[in-house]
Amino acid sequence: MNADRIPFNKPYLSGKELEYITSAHRNGHLAGDGPFTARCHQWLENGIGCMRALLTHSGTAALEMSALLLDIQPGDEIIMPPFTFVSTANAFVLRGGIPVFVDIREDTLNIDETLIEEAITPRTRVIVPVHYAGIACEMDSINAIAARHGLSVVEDAALGFMSSYKGRKLGGIGHLGACSFHETKNVISGEGGALLVNTPELITRAEIIREKGTDRGRFIRGEVDKYTWQEVGSSFLPGELTAAFLLAQLEAATHINEVRVETWNRYHASLAAAEAGGLLRRPAVPPECIHNGHIYYVLLPTGVDRKEVIDALKCARIDVAFHYVPLHDSPAGRRHGRTHGRLEKTEKLAQRLLRLPLWIGISPTQQEEVCQGLVRALENAARNGIGKAGG
Ligand SMILES: *Cc1c(COP(=O)(O)O)cnc(C)c1O
């Protein structure tokens, strides 16, 4: 029995955050788009390989900017998985868009690309692949479908920072990509995000929308002698203190992801026998995907009472978590969205999913305790005469 509780998450600090914040304070430039923001933009453009990166207040704000930038009108349809965070849908609903929920794949829990084409109607405008657990969607197929039907692709890469698909970093593959630097993600700034623009024609308008709909960016660069209201926009840019914090994290991003992937791999090795014994299913990573160790989840056998497992682990002072309540099954999702076909896989898989503690600093011994606690809870559940691991 461990004396200390094993928390589900612990934010990581690189150690340089306060130094950079002090420097921003000394610079006397505290509003957005100062030197630290410029350095973050450059880091993201080089690190991800996108044409233009723009810091935002949050991943949510980056998604909202996407909807403005793509000029979403009432009645436009946006294809997305139901197994995602509310912001994926909400950002488009704010513009009158209608989320169309398409079922997910059994292996990666990402949108099932083979179901997308049949969900397309004359009102469809956008496909939003969400890279669940930092493991990429089948982007070649999704981009090909979008090209065939003249649709835009907005990657929700909030969970996939610096993960890749066929060698390309997530968020840099669709027309637009959204990153999140929320405290719960790999690389953080408390609240924070970025919009990644991979389409040259969208860059200028993205800058305008982010600066309250004005061409202030052009003014600062000396390209115009005054700035004026150009477009419907809002204030989407964070201040320099946030950017200073974020730069310290970006510079540590490779280290952060390496340690998280090692931690992920340790769970994966420890739970191999449990999977072979039918007690659980481990995550699947397609060979073309390199992930960032953001989430380690397991799928419990059909029929196991997840709440019982969570409670048993809580008694052992181990915090685990389930994840999204599928959006089509939420009050606002039912009101604002519609489903394409039956969402059987989403409904089954979302109920079986359990995320294990994963943070920088969790020790191999603590991870072993988590695995043993989980296996014990699942063996008890199995002894109570419940089914076998499916899928
Ligand atoms: C975290 C998250 C968001 C929202 O990011 P915030 O920075 O918290 O606004 C959007 N989509 C997904 C899939 C997320 O996990």
Query: Fold for domain 253-383?
Result: Aspartate Aminotransferase, domain 1 (3.90.1150)
The pLDDT tens digits of the residues spanning 21-74 come to: 999 999 999 999 999 999 999 999 999 999 999 999 999 999 999 999 999 999
The pLDDT tens digits of the residues spanning 362-382 come to: 999 999 999 999 999 999 988
Task: Please indicate whether residue 158, judged by its CB atom, sits closer than 6 Å to ligand 1.
Answer: yes
Pocket test for ligand 1, best of 66, 80, 86, 87 (most atoms within 8 A of CB): 87
Q: Which CATH class is domain 17-251?
A: alpha beta
pLDDT of res. 3: 63
Atom 1, ligand 1: residue with shortest CA distance: 158
pLDDT > 90? residue 383: no
Is residue 287 within 8 Å of 165, Cβ to Cβ? no
Separation of CA 323 and ligand 1 centre (Å):
13
Separation of CA 85 and ligand 1 centre (Å):
6
pLDDT > 60? residue 390: no
Given the CA of residue 184, which atom of ligand 1 is nearest to it? Answer: 1
Burial (0-12, 13-18, 19+ Cβ within 10 Å), 383:
exposed
The pLDDT tens digits of the residues spanning 64-106 come to: 999 999 999 999 999 999 999 999 999 999 999 999 999 999 9
The pLDDT tens digits of the residues spanning 225-260 come to: 999 999 999 999 999 999 999 999 999 999 999 999
Task: Please indicate whether residue 60, judged by its CB atom, sits closer than 6 Å to ligand 1.
Answer: yes
Atom 6, ligand 1: residue with shortest CA distance: 59
Pocket test for ligand 1, best of 9, 108, 154, 156 (most atoms within 8 A of CB): 156
Task: Please indicate whether residue 180, judged by its CB atom, sits closer than 6 Å to ligand 1.
Answer: yes
CA dist 175 and 111 (Å) reads 18
Task: Please indicate whether residue 182, judged by its CB atom, sits closer than 6 Å to ligand 1.
Answer: yes
The pLDDT tens digits of the residues spanning 317-356 come to: 999 999 999 999 999 999 999 999 999 999 999 999 999 9
pLDDT of res. 133: 98
The pLDDT tens digits of the residues spanning 206-228 come to: 999 999 999 998 998 899 999 99
Atom 5, ligand 1: residue with shortest CA distance: 59
Residue ranges of domains in the chain: 17-251, 253-383
Tokens standing for residue 90? 């909400």
Which residue, 215, 161, 170, 203, is CA-closest to 65? Answer: 203
Task: Give me the count of residues in the chain.
Answer: 391
Task: Give the mean pLDDT of 264-284.
Answer: 98
Given the CA of residue 60, which atom of ligand 1 is nearest to it? Answer: 9
Separation of CA 281 and ligand 1 centre (Å):
25
Any alpha helices (H) in the chain, and if so which ranges?
17-27, 35-48, 59-69, 86-93, 116-119, 139-149, 203-210, 216-220, 240-250, 253-270, 272-276, 306-315, 331-336, 344-352, 364-383
pLDDT of res. 86: 98
CA dist 47 and 62 (Å) reads 18
pLDDT > 70? residue 391: no
Which residues does residue 101 pair with via DSSP β-bridges, in sequence order?
Answer: 80, 339
pLDDT of res. 381: 87
